Amino acid sequence: MDFKDTQAIYMQIADFVCDNIVSGKWSGDGRIPSVRELGMQLEVNPNTVMRAYEWLENRQIIYNKRGIGFFVYEDARQHILEDQRTAFLEQELPELFRRMKLLGITGEEVAKGFEDYLHKSA
């Protein structure tokens, strides 16, 4: 995994875990890699992975079965999608609108681009 300088590593690991849940690679009530396993896989300190797991645990995305490992909450996928949708609408979209205004891009141009994208990815 290539880490970016713009975000804390533990948050990038949390995003990685969420991506695996949303994609279906890790399913609800399924076990996820241990702190050590994921640390070795991503080549980071297990303490950093633990910090990401604690962050996800506090948001009820994963839970710990003592002595067994970490598991995905059954409704974690939906919870992640709701959180990411809210973050996009409140943080990323206003920045996109600001850039559109600055560059003189119209809503019609964006709508056409979005339609083209949907047809190409279908």
Is residue 7 scored above 80 in pLDDT? yes
Where do the domains of the chain lie? 9-76, 88-121
Band of residue 121 on the pLDDT scale cut at 50, 70, 90: confident
Angstrom distance (rounded) from CA 53 to CA 17? 9
pLDDT value for 1: 86
Is residue 122 scored above 90 in pLDDT? no
Tell me the pLDDT tens digit for each residue of 32-62.
999 999 999 999 999 999 999 999 999 999 9
Pairing of strands 69-72, 62-65: antiparallel
Nearest to 36 by CA among 23, 49, 21, 22: 49
Tell me the pLDDT tens digit for each residue of 73-102.
999 999 999 999 999 999 999 999 999 999
Q: Which fold has domain 9-76?
A: Arc Repressor Mutant, subunit A (1.10.10)
